Structure 1
Amino acid sequence: MPTPLMGLLLLMSVVAVPTCILAIVLMLRNPPRSLSKICAILALIFGFSATAVYCYGWFTVTLGGPFPELCEDRNASGAQLASLQQDYWPLRNACIYSDGSTVEHVSMSINVFVYVPAGLAVLLICAAVFLYRRARHIPEGTS
């Protein structure tokens, strides 16, 4: 992905998360609000959080990242480091040695901080749709 697009996504996410948190606070101050709207805004918070963390990791990889520090100059068999190969998803680094062996480093913290909020966002969207449809089918005179 091009750098300006990732920068725009990162900026948008960094602005959207506090805005959504403010919206939640304002919604909870003036009850009663529909639970489906609260779930939808929470889904936005988690979705934008996952986007911000991924964009941060992408920029880390693009700018050289912490990955080269993880590679040893020589592997266990004594072969020298020949090259580095970095992938943008799932934000990993491969240390390639002169004897053809490869050691991969996958940043679990980045993956956990991307996968968990993204999964929660999907679950909250499903819950919001379910609650919205359920509330729409309940007659207004009943509770």
Structure 2
Amino acid sequence: MPVPLMGMLLLLSVATAGAGIVTVFLLLNNPPQPLSKFCAVLVLIFSSSAAAVYCYGWYSVTMGGPFPELCEDRNASGAELASMKQEYWPLRNACIYSDGPTVEYVSMTINVLVCVLASLAVVLTGAAAFLRWRARQSSEKSVVHLA
């Protein structure tokens, strides 16, 4: 992805997460809200946070940090660093040495944060859908049909 597009996605994700947090506070000030609405706002917060964390990690890999300082100029056998290979999912950096071995570094904090936030968003999406379905079922049972 081009750098400006990822920058826009990062800004949009941060703004969306912020708006979601404000919405949660507003929902908590007016307590008689359905729980499914609260879950839906949490889905928005977690999913946009996952996108923001991934974009931050993408910029970290693209702009050359924090991984490159992990590559040493020479490995234990004395071979020089030939090249570095970067991948964007999972965010990782590989140090390739002239005698063939490769040392790979994976950004576990960013990958774990993205996976945890995205998983929470998926679970809350299911919970919100279930709560909404259950509320509809109970409202249909309480309706009296006149003939």
The question of a shared fold, defined as TM-score above 0.5 by the shorter chain, is answered with: yes
For residues 93-122 of structure 1, the C-alpha deviation after alignment (integer angstroms, 9 at most, x for no partner) is 000000111000001111111110010000
Moved over 4 A (4+): none
Partners in 2 of 1:24 and 1:10 — Cα distance?
A: 21
Matched residue, 2:59: 59
Shift of 1:139: 2.8
The total of aligned residue pairs comes to: 142
Query: Mind listing any 5+ residue stretches in structure 2 that lack a counterpart?
Result: none
State the identity as a percent: 66
Residue aligned with 2:139, SS: coil
Compare CA radii of gyration and give the structure with the larger one.
2
Answering whether residue 101 of structure 2 is matched by residue 101 of structure 1, we say yes
Matched, 1:42 2:42: yes
Q: TM-score, normalised by structure 1?
A: 0.95
Q: Give deviations 1:28-53, integer Å, cap 9, x for gaps.
A: 11121110110011011010111001
Unmatched 5+ residue regions in structure 1? none
2-structure distance, mates of 1:6, 1:109: 20
Alpha-carbon separation, structure 1, partners of 2:18 and 2:124: 18
Q: Counterpart of 2:52 in 1: which secondary structure? A: helix
Match of 1:22 in 2: 22
Write the distance in 1 (CA, Å) between the matches of 2:9 and 2:84.
27
In structure 2, distance between residues paired with 1:5 and 1:121: 23
Indicate the RMSD between aligned Cα atoms, in angstroms.
Answer: 1.2
Deviation at 1:68, TM superposition (A): 1.1
